[in-house]
Amino acid sequence: MSVALASQLREGTKKSHTMAENTGFVTCFLKGVVDKSSYRKLIADLYFVYSAMEDEIGKLRENGHPVIGPIGYPELNRRETLEKDLSYYFGEDWLNQVTPTRSAKAYVARIHEVAQDFPELLVGHHYTRYIGDLSGGQILKNIAQKAMNLNGHDGVRFYEFDLIKDQKEFKLDYSQTLDSLPLDQATVDLIIEEANQAFKFNMDMFKELEGNLIAAIGKVLFGFLTRNKRVGSTE
């Protein structure tokens, strides 16, 4: 039975998409307010999330899972690019320096859980992260480079999909693949629900990082005000 999964996912996650964009961390990011310390913690969290997804999806793809296999595009994989970014931010010993936040741990646990109990739900997680990254990657890359004074590829490889030459064509192919998956409407409804849950996990990660960002902004503001006070002092 063929269902219009791509359009249903798009429409069914619109509200969550908007809510995610309106979190403090993302709002600041889009305005060019990017604290390197908070950003590298986000990259570390994403490393754990993508490692979990790519491990589980890779196994299901190898075993010929009829739903997960077709969407397991290797050209979308982000773990290797995240490893390069982490090496840039933390040094060669990065793996011994990074740990997932509480919210990232919950996200990873959910990915492993659905992979074991109801693998079809991974479609919701796959769509939410990979297509979001592919769609907004170039814009976010440019913002990050400008905000953190980065040059070239260093620190922003996560946003680069070198194996995808035509993103518009790829997204069209991805949508057609979604629509061709052997799913009934009841399962589609559960996948959309899971995609919204994936957005919530992402928002939880953003909110956990907001405290670090606010503290960093406050520190800069305090330093600015202190300097101005010294300059204007008559004592």
Q: Which tens digits make up the pLDDT trace of 19-46?
A: 998 888 888 888 888 888 889 999 999 9
CATH architecture of 5-232: Up-down Bundle (1.20)
For residue 221, pLDDT over 50 is answered with: no
CB 45 within 8 A of CB 78: no
pTM of the prediction? 0.88
Confidence of residue 235 (pLDDT cuts 50, 70, 90): very low
The residue assigned the tokens 């998956």 is: 181
Question: Can you say how many angstroms the Cα of residue 217 is from the centroid of all Cα atoms in its chain?
Answer: 23
* pLDDT at residue 25, as a whole number: 86
Which spans in 13-78 are helix H?
14-21, 24-30, 36-62, 68-71
Q: Where are the domains of the chain?
A: 5-232
* pLDDT at residue 232, as a whole number: 52
* pLDDT at residue 156, as a whole number: 95
136-153 pLDDT per residue, tens: 888 889 999 999 999 889
